[in-house]
Amino acid sequence: MLQVNNLTFQYKKQPILKDISFSVKTGEHFSIIGESGSGKSTLLKLLYGTYDLNEGNIFWKDNEILGPKHNLIIGPEYMKYVAQEFDLMPFITVAENIGAYLSNFYPEEKQARTNELLEVVELQAYAHIKVKELSGGQKQRVAIARAIAKQPEVLLLDEPFSHIDNFKKQSLRRSLFKYLKEKKITCIVATHDKDDVLSFSDHMMVLHDAKIMIKGTPQQLYKNPEDKLIASFFGEFNVINGGIIYANQLKIVDTSNLKAVVKKSYYKGYYYLIEADLDGNNVFFEHKKVLKKGLPICLSIYNNL
């Protein structure tokens, strides 16, 4: 398992990460979430041994992961890291990039393996296209395929689908996480997309103010978001009488104490997100139909989580 003990790190004077401790079991999928600038990418880079820690230590099984002071080559052999700014070789093809770390000794096996990886990231049709001719999202898929080519024990993914459009994102996400689970590859994902987490992560943690705000399963954090920051990660929410209430937990009823007036309806496909005024505060709730501006309504809170 991966074990991080009391890690503290600063680029300059200001600590970016303070006293961070967590562990990830072998084969587990673990998500690191937090606002932009909260240190997600820094933490992944530290797990990869890119920088020396100011305090603490990191172990994968019995091996300590050490920074550049102790290593000529950054990155342990059993680990692969797909950076937010993936760096590929632009002048060779997709297939050549993916096969770059595979041995040339068994050309048939190399070919078969490359094909398998092209399938995982759904790029079969692009095998012989030069990487410089690809879109950002396609490049990101090549970077992922290259990282898993030699089956690492641990895969670090930094916002792995951020450049990939919605048409492809859903199926690629399912295909990649299924593959990683089947191969029992431990996977740590930095993300700000709840869809990377809810269906696919065994555990998650939230970084805030250089610290771990909370750790848990996605279900635990979704059902009991102890802080507005956590709720905002999962979706639209309200604070009513001090409690965090998701937009889908508020429903219109005939009478109640929560009297509101409709301000605006936003079309969301199978529902409308309604913005209403409740005692001078904006509240949001989901409703099947569009509602007219100015309509008086009564709302009730449902504990449907």
Site of interaction with ligand ADP (CB under 6 A): 11, 16, 34, 36-42
Helices of type H across 92-234: 94-98, 107-120, 136-148, 166-182, 194-197, 218-223, 228-234
In one letter, which amino acid is 30? F
Q: In angstroms, give the least distance from the CB of 3 to ligand ADP.
A: 21
Question: Are the beta carbons of 18 and 210 closer than 8 angstroms?
Answer: yes
Q: Which of 9, 90, 85 is nearest to 50 (CA)?
A: 9
34 binds, among ligand ADP, Mg ion, none (CB under 5 to 8 A by kind): ligand ADP
Q: In angstroms, give the least distance from the CB of 189 to ligand ADP.
A: 12
Tell how strand 79-82 and strand 154-158 pair up.
parallel
Looking at the Cβ atoms of 162 and 300, the one nearer to ligand ADP is: 162
Looking at the Cβ atoms of 44 and 252, the one nearer to Mg ion is: 44
Q: In angstroms, give the least distance from the CB of 36 to ligand ADP.
A: 4
38 binds, among ligand ADP, Mg ion, none (CB under 5 to 8 A by kind): ligand ADP
In one letter, which amino acid is 134? L
11 binds, among ligand ADP, Mg ion, none (CB under 5 to 8 A by kind): ligand ADP
42 binds, among Mg ion, ligand ADP, none (CB under 5 to 8 A by kind): ligand ADP
Q: In angstroms, give the least distance from the CB of 224 to ligand ADP.
A: 24
Looking at the Cβ atoms of 99 and 160, the one nearer to Mg ion is: 160
> For residues 32 and 173, what is the distance between their CA atoms, to the nearest angstrom?
17
**DSSP sequence for 30-78:** EEEE-STTSSHHHHHHHHTT-S--SEEEEEETTEE---TTT-SSSS-TT
Cβ count within 10 A of residue 22: 17
Q: In angstroms, give the least distance from the CB of 10 to ligand ADP.
A: 9
265 touches Mg ion by CB under 5 A: no
Looking at the Cβ atoms of 86 and 246, the one nearer to Mg ion is: 86
Question: Are the beta carbons of 142 and 100 closer than 8 angstroms?
Answer: no
Q: In angstroms, give the least distance from the CB of 53 to ligand ADP.
A: 14
In one letter, which amino acid is 154? V
Residues between 24 and 63 that touch Mg ion (CB under 5 A): 40-41
